[in-house]
Structure 1
């Protein structure tokens, strides 16, 4: 009889463990389902970054621009970045440019730091603007009084059309040239350090 009592207790213990395990599994499944994260779709103007130097072999960067890349998608450049008007220089938030050391930005000294980057497109030149107000959505709240520097850069046209707005840096004597391209327009500005 003692044998049957031990066997019964053993079966009860196994059943309790199975019940506990089953309850735990069901709870985890339900909890995971109810707390699953929902993500928005992909941004139509994805964020990008351009740095100088751009090589991963160079651990110390001089400049970095974080910006969103709008696309023409059949629209004209003059619709999206009209000549003579302050433009956010990309999409979504105004881009931020960080200088990791003091530089000469298009002929004017700029202290190391992070700035909002705006431009004013033009047919013969673009105005490049560094502004101290960060985290601005577009140019809607642009405040000229917060400008740190305004300089003019050259603009040219290229036979190849770029559908997505792009920023890059090319090595130049004593620094780099910041290049912006969209549609057939190519704007450039020297940065020395």
Structure 2
């Protein structure tokens, strides 16, 4: 039988290192984990898919997310909004389908944008000419800190909450 040499041990060590790195890498959680909000509003099934960044001690509205500029409404790729039935958002018609969702945040009011190109890498590829509807909603402050960006489908529409900010669109 052949005696193992240093090359043999080096190979085994490298292999063990590779497997242990892969195993430990599996435990890392993404900085902005994927999230989904679902619910039914007036008979329409609503699904919102987004990545949920954390506040991490930062000032969000007007700083990390500037006012009066298009924001992808989440982290990573643009947020998507899907409805299986035609609906009205703030009184404007939105046909059944899947859309990218953007926001132009403001201190008093924000603009919610439903864009016809659902799969977008983020705000850098946003094309205003592809907007289906834009609606204006009041920008609200809450007394409860929301560490992670969260969307929620509620009885009469949907909400976005993050830090101490909140926006809500009504759906008919």
Q: So what's the TM-score if we normalise by structure 2?
A: 0.80
Q: Which has the higher contact order (CA 8 A, sep 6+)?
A: 2
- Work out the number of aligned pairs and report it: 150
Q: Answer 1 or 2: which has greater strand percent.
A: 2
SS class of match (1:83): coil
Deviations 1:60-106 (A, max 9, x none): 86111000101110111122211101000010010111110000012
CA RMSD of aligned residues (A): 2.2
- The whole-number CA distance in structure 2 between the counterparts of 1:73 and 1:140 is 24
SS class of match (2:54): coil
- The whole-number CA distance in structure 2 between the counterparts of 1:51 and 1:80 is 27
- Other-structure match for 1:66: 49
The list of structure 1 runs, each at least 4 consecutive aligned residues, that deviate by more than 6 angstroms after superposition, is none
- Judge conservation of contact 1:51–1:61 (CA < 8 Å) in 2: no
**Which among 26, 40, 44 is matched to residue 31 of structure 2?**
44
Unmatched segments (≥5 aa) in structure 1 = 1-32, 55-59
Which of the two has higher C-alpha Rg?
A: 1
Q: So what's the TM-score if we normalise by structure 1?
A: 0.72
Unmatched segments (≥5 aa) in structure 2 = 1-15
Q: Answer 1 or 2: which has greater helix percent.
A: 1
